[in-house]
Structure 1
Amino acid sequence: MKEKVMILFMIFTIIGTAQKKKNGTIYIEHPAIKVVEEMEKAFAAGNKDKVASYVSEDFKSYNGSDTNKDAKGKTKENLLNNVTFWKENISYLKIERSAGAYPDALEYKDTTNDDVVWVQTWTHLTGVHNKTGVKLDMPFHRLYVVNKDNKIQTMINYFDESVYDEIGASFTERKNGTIYNHHENINKVRRMIHAFENDDLEIAYKFYDEKCKFKNIHMPLNETYTLEESIEGDLKFKEKFEINSIDIQGYPDYLNYGIRDSKVVQSWWIVRLTRKSDQKKINVPIMFLHDFNDDGMITMESAYYSAKLLED
């Protein structure tokens, strides 16, 4: 039995070894990496001549996500024109290694790649489009082929192109819904606020959906609290402060957005308080954003105010 186990072990070891086949070497430092990163720096600096010095005459670049089987790639001339375009249209352009990432140089041991080196990079591109103000802030993955003369002959790009859609759309004016200064959702916000003013929490909270989320400017990003937690917080607040008056500033707006059909009331108020501990009068400016669902219920409340005003 022991002999059978040993034979099986040897068979699996041989099979496992046979499944591995070395096909070259990966380098963390290599002349090909240097030429690639120098070219990217020159591109970001808008140095057309320097970029040209790093690429071969038969250079081609490709969009790695392009599904066009007949794509012929872009030439060296196209690349150099791109240098000029980006220099004239993008401010603050930077191309840097992504945090924690570094490029690899791969020397393959096969007849197809005997005289070239593949370099793969993970970078982050940032900048601002001059005309539209759209911010570029996106990861880039690139594969390069560097020839025996240490010139870049191929570049394959992988990146999210959606930011270019936003730039293109920003060249024309487009309406995104309708703004109302009188609307039933505005009426609901006013009734809710004045119910709080008059210590009628039962009425105030009937305008909120039971799954409503609450947040304010002092909370960590993406953190919210529930309706129950909001009620508890309001009760604690009323133990410390008396609401003398809540007065509207200007007029509320109801925005019914075209994109996603979002429904938002924005309003501005002065909350006039008396602190019970020392009878100090405090005026707190506050802005609210209230999101509504299709049933006319508040699903999100966002509050913007200075908590510093409430400190002892």
Structure 2
Amino acid sequence: MKKHVIIIMLLSVAVMYSQKKKNGTVYIEHPAIEIVEAMQQADIAGDVDKVASYLADDFMSVSGTTRNKNAKGTNKEQFLKWVENKTKWTAYASLTRHGEAYPDAIEYKDGKTWVQTWNYLKGVHDATGVKIEMPLHNLYRLNADNKIELEIYYSYPVGQDIRAGFTERTNGTIYNEHPHINKVRRMMAAFENMDLEKAYSYFDENCSFSSLEMPVGESMDLDEVKESHKGFYDKFEISSIDVVGYPDLLHYEIGGNDMTVQSWWNFRLIRKSDKKKIIMPAMYTHDFNDDGKVVRSIGYFSTKVLDAK
């Protein structure tokens, strides 16, 4: 029985290995790679004549992600027109290999040579200011004359963002009077009058607090803010907190129906150590939840003014 098992195992291994069939060779260095990368850089530079010199007369460029069964792709003439036009609306364009990726050239047994590339495109759309930063994956097929006859591209459709930049659309409603604005005003009045229990009552217990002076991604919870405020009150007396202009409530359409109050204030302070009067400008954004509590507070101010001589 053991002998039979060994024979079966050997046959299985033989079957697995017999299923392999070589269909070409992959190269990390190849003239076709040089041709493709030279064409790509000429494309980015907008050098139409140089790009044309690398393309076959019957060149076609097609999307590898389109679901349009009738898509015919882009021919050489159309592609060159695209190369010419995009330099007119793209600034700071660059194309590099993506990270540690590198292109491959594959010579298939049928005589065709393919090059596959992984790149990273950067630039700015001049008219809309849309920042273009995206990975690109392309396949290129070369003919017997070492001309590129086919390009298949796989990329994020950044054109959607650019097209959106040419239209006007609203993203909600701005209020200059709203119950949430009233809450912010009452909150600041409570801080001015040191009614801290009332002031903190407007915040959700899980509220996050951050400011311009904190590292990106860091925040404090309500208890940490209360402790931080104690140190401030030990050193400064609040004469008044005066609104600058008027607060706005932004009720967004995009992003989950969020409501944010943004407000501007002048903190009129007296430094207890030397009775120095200081004015500290500040801007705040307060995000409200469905229960009418503040769930995120961001402060934009500089505490360096508190060290004024």
Deviates more, 1:182-191 or 1:271-280: 271-280
With normalisation by structure 1, the TM-score equals: 0.88
Unaligned stretches of 5+ residues in structure 2: none
Q: Which amino acid counterpart does residue 308 of structure 1 have in structure 2? A: K
| SS of residue in 1 equivalent to 2:170 | coil
Counterpart selection for 2:181 from 181, 186, 194: 186
Instruction: Give, in whole Å, the separation in 1 of the partners of 2:294 and 2:173.
Output: 19
Instruction: Give, in whole Å, the separation in 2 of the partners of 1:101 and 1:11.
Output: 39
The corresponding residue for 2:279 is: 283
Q: Which amino acid counterpart does residue 76 of structure 2 have in structure 1? A: K
Instruction: Kindly state the Cα deviation for residue 59 of structure 1 after the two structures are TM-superposed.
Output: 0.8
The corresponding residue for 1:267 is: 263
Instruction: Give, in whole Å, the separation in 2 of the partners of 1:143 and 1:30.
Output: 15
Q: Deviations over 1:21-59 (max 9, x none)?
A: 443322222111111111111111111111111111111
Instruction: Give, in whole Å, the separation in 2 of the partners of 1:21 and 1:239.
Output: 80
Instruction: Kindly state the Cα deviation for residue 90 of structure 1 after the two structures are TM-superposed.
Output: 1.5
| 2:22 is equivalent to residue 26 of structure 1 | no
Q: Deviations over 1:237-256 (max 9, x none)?
A: 33343333222112111112
Counterpart selection for 2:112 from 107, 116, 122: 116
The corresponding residue for 1:77 is: 77
Instruction: Give, in whole Å, the separation in 2 of the partners of 1:13 and 1:295.
Output: 66
| 2:189 is equivalent to residue 219 of structure 1 | no
The corresponding residue for 1:176 is: 171
Instruction: Give, in whole Å, the separation in 1 of the partners of 2:15 and 2:273.
Output: 80
The corresponding residue for 1:149 is: 145
Q: Which amino acid counterpart does residue 152 of structure 1 have in structure 2? A: I
The corresponding residue for 2:193 is: 198
Instruction: Give, in whole Å, the separation in 1 of the partners of 2:233 and 2:66.
Output: 61
Instruction: Give, in whole Å, the separation in 1 of the partners of 2:16 and 2:307.
Output: 69
Deviates more, 1:150-159 or 1:169-178: 169-178
Instruction: Give, in whole Å, the separation in 1 of the partners of 2:218 and 2:22.
Output: 49
Instruction: Kindly state the Cα deviation for residue 106 of structure 1 after the two structures are TM-superposed.
Output: 1.6
Alignment root-mean-square deviation, CA: 2.4
Deviates more, 1:302-311 or 1:271-280: 271-280
Q: Which amino acid counterpart does residue 225 of structure 1 have in structure 2? A: M
Instruction: Give, in whole Å, the separation in 2 of the partners of 1:219 and 1:63.
Output: 44
Instruction: Give, in whole Å, the separation in 2 of the partners of 1:305 and 1:88.
Output: 41
Deviates more, 1:4-13 or 1:258-267: 4-13
**How many residues align structurally?**
307
Instruction: Kindly state the Cα deviation for residue 295 of structure 1 after the two structures are TM-superposed.
Output: 2.8
Instruction: Give, in whole Å, the separation in 2 of the partners of 1:104 and 1:93.
Output: 24
Identity %: 52
Q: Deviations over 1:243-277 (max 9, x none)?
A: 33222112111112232322111111122334445
- Gap change, CA 1:20 and 1:285, over 3 Å in 2: farther
With normalisation by structure 2, the TM-score equals: 0.89
The corresponding residue for 2:227 is: 232
Counterpart selection for 1:242 from 234, 237, 246: 237
Matches within 5 A, 1:52-131: 52-109=52-109, 114-131=110-127
